[in-house]
């Protein structure tokens, strides 16, 4: 099975859901996803660094840029110990159709769980790629990443919510 990384019909989507390392690991496993890049989005500062995003009021959140094949995966598919503005849960939309799909999905989840969804819905503007140290962190620093992930109880929390 061969995926053309540069196919014109590939699409990009942007999500934020806490730590971008964890987002990268989760989306890398999804069939139809071509690439996942860690970065920052949603703020006012141009070309922010990790320190800008985490330690100043840049307005950015840790986010991922996902390139996917729309023939295999649709846009409408689906934080833990990460605290602070840069770890807010955000879904970015590029057009009205995406915004409508997001809002419909949120309303459905709120009804199913009988709770308010706190994921923010923002218009996508610009994505800034994070420093190379953060790319593929969960693979390149596997033991350190597992300790972080286990310490945050990410897996256990997700199982409690969805099972």
Residues catalogued as catalytic: 19
Cβ atoms of residues 104 and 96 within 8 Å = no
Residue 32 tokens read as: 């139809």
Bridge partner residues of 64 (DSSP): 15, 38
Bridge partner residues of 15 (DSSP): 64, 91
């Amino acid at each position: 099975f061969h995926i053309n990384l540069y196919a014109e019909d590939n699409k990009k989507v942007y999500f934020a859901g806490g730590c971008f390392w964890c987002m990268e690991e989760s989306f890398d496993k999804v069939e139809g996803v071509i690439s996942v890049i860690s970065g920052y989005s949603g703020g006012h500062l141009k070309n922010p660094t990790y320190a800008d995003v985490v330690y100043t009021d840049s307005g950015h959140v840790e986010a991922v840029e996902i390139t996917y094949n729309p023939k295999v995966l649709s846009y409408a598919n689906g934080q833990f110990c990460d605290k602070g503005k840069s770890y807010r849960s955000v879904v970015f939309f590029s057009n009205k159709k995406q915004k409508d799909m997001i809002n419909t999905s949120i309303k459905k989840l709120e009804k199913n769980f009988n709770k308010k969804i706190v994921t923010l819905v923002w218009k996508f503007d610009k994505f800034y790629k994070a420093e190379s140290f953060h790319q593929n962190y969960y693979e390149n620093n596997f033991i350190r990443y597992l300790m972080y992930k286990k310490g945050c109880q990410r897996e256990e929390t997700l199982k409690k919510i969805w099972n």
